[in-house]
Structure 1
Amino acid sequence: MRVAIFASGNGTNFDAIVNSSKLQNAGLEIAILVCDQPNAPVIQKANKFKIPVFVNELKNFPNRKEYEKTIVDKLSPLNIEYIFLAGYMRVVTSELLNKYRNRIINIHPSLLPKFSGLDAIQRAFDSGDEETGVTIHYIDENVDTGPIICQSHIPILRTDNVETLEERIHTKEHEMYIKVILDLIKRESENVNFEKGID
């Protein structure tokens, strides 16, 4: 399965996906990393694995439509089947959505719909709630509102600070994202086999 990963920062989920032997053995092919921040550490991680990088800054375009149109033009010849957002800090709009409808997946560090948007871990920690979690979902036109694929609950311990909570959330993110991608690869393979009439 050929995919693109979009990221804006450190790329911890990108790193987990790239380093997963399970995903490699299942046939995942990361065709490109799309990044909107030219100095993001995730770019170095992609370079290490010789994964092509496309840096595209919103400030260079008059609007989001033109910004995303450039991304679509870049991805179109690559036969991308899915896009995985891994800490991509831009709202995806219709230009990209219409091209990859139901094929853009995001991971968010909260139990959506709670704490959608930015700073979800800090806001959950400050809320006094006893738990937060991780959500993997499809992208739609709004922020963090698309159909949910799966969620995992994570307790907020009395001994936690933001850093320890964040570390546990990231660990769970990596585990969940790899499982979801494996399930997608299996489903796509079964669909192809069914269409070809292979038992």
Structure 2
Amino acid sequence: MENNDTNAHADHGNAPKRIVVLLSGSGSNLQALIDAQQNAFFNGKIVCVISNRPDAYGLTRAQQANIETLSLDHKAYNTREQYDAELAKAIENTKPDLIILAGFMRILTPEFVAKFKGKLLNIHPSLLPKYQGLHTHQRALDAKDSEHGVSVHFVTEELDGGPVILQAKVPIFDGDTAEDLAARVHEQEHRIYPLVTKWFCQDRLLMQNDSAVLDNNKLPQQGYASE
């Protein structure tokens, strides 16, 4: 996949984009973003990592990289709306340009999504629109698909339904387990999430009329294709 570095030098005159990452688990995608940031791959700064699970290892990864963390336990709130209102307040305090969902296992309320529309990115382990929701690897195997993959997309009110920006495909081999497939997909996740983040930080990527637009071109349903 090409890195599209033609506009790389355009970054330097601009202040780094302020990035907030939301996660619920081990934070392997967060680590890929931290590594990319430390290598100056994108002109952005992760200013806060927030988790709905106090024991999420992703918080430890952030602390090891000297990034501010916040644990906001969803179990302390009676309703999804109350939790999302508190989460939105915490995010707004960081003045973010971009909010990255990196394994954040919560369905967001329409009010939350509307507040941050165009600034919310998610990564989903399937070739959307296939296999929205959970257990995507097993579902691809059960369907006897020959390929599987991962999608980075803008978040809209529809679960896993926002416009796709970039996909990466992986082959499915005979005898594959869901774990085999997950490992193959993870490898691609760690490549494409920093790349999409870079495009956003270069002001090349935006959401317009519920479509993903890169370099002033509306992207097709499957997102950007380098082929």
Task: Give the structure-2-normalised TM-score.
Answer: 0.78
Partner of 1:47: 63
The amino acid of 1:39's aligned partner reads: D
What residue is the counterpart of 1:95 in the other structure? 111
Paired residues, number? 189
User: Mind listing any 5+ residue stretches in structure 1 that lack a counterpart?
Assistant: 190-199
Higher helix share: 1
Check the 8 A contact 1:32/1:53 in 2, yes or no: yes
Q: Structure 2 stretches of 5 or more lacking a match?
A: 1-16, 206-227
2:137–2:178: 8 Å Cα contact kept in structure 1?
yes
Give the structure 1 partner of residue 147 of structure 2: 131
Secondary structure in 2 aligned to 1:92?
A: coil
State the Cα distance separating 1:83 from its structure 2 match: 0.5
Q: Percent identity?
A: 32
The aligned runs of 1:24-43 (5 Å cut-off) are: 24-43=40-59
Any idea what SS the aligned residue of 2:86 has? Answer: helix
Match of 1:197 in 2: none
Give secondary structure in 2 for the equivalent of 1:37. Answer: coil
Over the residues paired in the alignment, what is the CA RMSD in angstroms?
1.7
- Distance of 1:21 and 1:141 partners within structure 2: 29
Within 5 A, what are the aligned runs for 1:1-199? Answer: 1-21=17-37, 24-187=40-203
1:23–1:178: 8 Å Cα contact kept in structure 2? no
C-alpha distance in structure 2 between counterparts of 1:49 and 1:188, whole Å: 27
State whether residues 149 and 167 of structure 2, in contact with CA within 8 Å, keep that contact through their aligned partners in structure 1: yes
- Aligned residue for 2:70, secondary structure, equals strand
TM-score between both structures, scaled by the size of structure 1: 0.89
Report the alpha carbon displacement of residue 163 of structure 1 after superposing the two structures with TM. Answer: 2.2
Contact 1:23 1:182 in 2 (8 A): no
Q: CA deviation at 1:58?
A: 1.8
Q: Which residue of 1 aligns with 2:221?
A: none
Describe the superposition over 1:36-76 as per-residue Cα deviations: whole angstroms up to 9, x where unpaired: 11111111111111211111122211211110111111122
**SS state at 1:167 partner:** helix
Deviation at 1:23, TM superposition (A): 6.1
Runs of 4+ in 1 over 6 A off after TM superposition: none
Q: What is the identity, as a one-letter code, of the residue corresponding to 1:26?
A: F
